[in-house]
Chains A and B, each alone.
Chain A
């Protein structure tokens, strides 16, 4: 189980992050000020710390100085969105920087990517009847390899990371193709349908009326 410490003084935001990370299968603990966070960091082992900057008692910049020697990955989650703030945060040793307000799938993607960089994620993802080797990018059902194009593979990972979350067509388009969604494009539908067919996942990837698709598996 991956342990994530959420350091955020605003309870609503803290809860929001916690709910979504728990649902994605991480173990989360919340700290509401810098001092409490420092105590928790000392007491437990953490794989990742989500850190707000403007905190009571000890602020995020001071806290990261304390975290750095411990070799724990840190993602700043803050309202400070200017380039200088981001650069300062990254220079201090943060692994990533997420500005408020954020979307849930962005939060999940960043957490995933930082953990992947640290190789703390499982190399093999097992979802439903499929196993995915995230290093060699091999997708297997039992012993049979399923060949996927690059976009299909990315789409598959996106669905797996966003279990039980309805993905809007524009979200999918923006994440996979990196462009702004121009509306009305059939690209997303075509790719999702092809992926569904190749994987034989008609019952898992369900269309959400007028919105997009949802990958449904029992947690």
Chain B
């Protein structure tokens, strides 16, 4: 069931129930109080009638007593004559109210009606239940009309008579009926009105939900570039905000995943290429050696090719191992003095630079560094070696250490041929070689800077490359100051 219908049904059922309950309580209370009033009236009428009747009967009784002797009189009063006396008396009584005369009837002790002013036929159940000296009433209906019937006993000449008065209260019931009818029509009106009202309210409430649902469907279909949804301040607004956050973070995650998948794919493609190239030579030359008659000179040439390419594969596998170790292994950082670290690097690189007649300038500011010395040495040697390779003649390499306000900066600057600006972002990519043939000739496999950037990452450091083609390259390694003995 749709939320709209749920909302509609629950709201209409609740409102109808409450309205119905309230209305019927009100109608009934009104009716009951009116009825009570009517009953009081009836009792009053009954009282009046009873008093009048009693007076009349007492007068008649005294008259007859004066005309006869006491004992005779009493004994001469048979039930029949008493009945007749009452009937005589009653014909003289007429009590009028504003609604005309009050209808009444008299029954004798045998519950037989002896006199009546109304044309209505009633049973005598009520007077049968009546005790001496009590009054009773009941509400009865006869011929679609409602009456209050009040009964009281009258003692006359030692006989019990019963006086019953009636009051027509059909109007009261009609009012109640009218009220119920009004109630019924208003219920229909309320249903109609609430339908329209709830329709708009539900539409207004469920509109953001629908938008959310549509967005969720689009996301599930792989469309992550969604516009940000409008956020309200209610619970749905909270949901929308949460949804927006979710879709934003999802989008980020997807972009990252795509990027990493692309990197992975590129890595594998490059790796396959780097693997297959030496393999092609090895297999090809070996194939020639095994299937052709070759001269001694060719034999040496071909096997040398196989050997060189084999070496290249070896270098590639070692570098890859190094990279894998860097990714998997956890390294312990140590405190090393900057001067000591620079000295160890210098001692390795100086002879090579001297051989190539490259001027080497070092300047170290003292500071205690937190690093893995062997790894950082690899980085520096790699970068220095790259600097060396980029230099043709009159080379100069600066190797500097400076204290910065939140760490330490190692700078390696050369005056070599530099890097094209569009290549700078690519040079740390695995297997990227700016000058393939020259790199291959020097035995490079294109993983050096990848390893360097991996090590830099392990140190939570930053590597910045600035280069002007033809002028030289400058590489900054920003080491952050970290607390001693921190495991990274």
Contact = CB atoms under 8 A, between A and B. Distances in A.
A28 B279 CA distance: 23
Contact of A79 (B272, B284, B308, B436): B272
B280 A13 contact: yes
A44 B284 CA distance: 28
Given A79-B276, A100-B276, A12 B281 contact: yes
B289 to A, nearest CB: 10
A13 B273 contact: no
B291 interface: yes
B272 A81 contact: yes
Contact of A16 (B272, B273, B284, B293): B284
Interface string B261-298: 00000000100110111011111110110111100000
B277 A79 contact: yes
A153 interface: no
Interface in B170-201: none
Contacts of A10: 277, 280-281, 440
Contacts of A26: none
B305 interface: yes
A103 B277 CA distance: 14
A104 B437 contact: no
A152 interface: no
Contact of B283 (A32, A81, A101): A101
- Of the listed residues B276, B282, B305, B437, the one surrounded by the most CB atoms of chain A closer than 10 A to its CB is B276
A110 interface: no
B309 interface: yes
Given A9-B436, A101-B284, A104-B287, A166 B292 contact: yes
Nearest to B272: A79
- Of the listed residues A79, A80, A167, A211, the one surrounded by the most CB atoms of chain B closer than 10 A to its CB is A79
A164 interface: yes
Nearest to A12: B281
B287 A100 contact: no
A168 interface: yes
Nearest to A55: B436
Contact of B437 (A32, A100, A167): A32
Nearest to B283: A101
A106 to B, nearest CB: 10
Nearest to B305: A12
B308 to A, nearest CB: 8
Interface in A6-36: 9-13, 15-17, 19-20, 32
Contacts of B282: 101
B436 A166 contact: no
Contacts of A104: 284, 287-288, 291
Nearest to B434: A56
Interface in A152-174: 164-168
Interface residues of A, number: 29
Given A16-B288, A100-B280, A101-B283, A9 B293 contact: no
Given A56-B436, A101-B276, A164 B284 contact: no
A168 B436 CA distance: 36
Nearest to B279: A101
A74 B209 CA distance: 59
A165 B292 contact: yes
Contacts of A80: 269, 272-273
A15 B309 CA distance: 14
A100 B275 CA distance: 10
Contacts of B272: 79-81
B281 A164 contact: no
Contacts of B283: 101-103
Given A19-B288, A32-B437, A80-B269, A101 B293 contact: no
A72 interface: no
A103 B440 CA distance: 23
B312 to A, nearest CB: 10
Interface of B: 269, 272-273, 275-277, 279-285, 287-288, 290-293, 305, 308-309, 436-437, 440
Interface of A: 9-13, 15-17, 19-20, 32, 54, 56, 79-81, 99-104, 164-168, 211, 214
Given A13-B281, A16-B285, 9 more contacts: A9-B436, A10-B280, A10-B440, A12-B308, A13-B277, A19-B288, A100-B279, A102-B284, A103-B287
21 contacts: A10-B440, A13-B284, A15-B305, A16-B284, A16-B285, A19-B288, A54-B273, A79-B272, A79-B277, A80-B269, A80-B273, A81-B276, A100-B279, A101-B282, A102-B280, A102-B283, A103-B287, A104-B288, A166-B290, A166-B291, A166-B292
For the complex of A and B, the 7 pairs showing the least CB-CB separation, nearest first, are: A79-B276, A166-B291, A100-B280, A101-B280, A16-B284, A12-B281, A101-B283
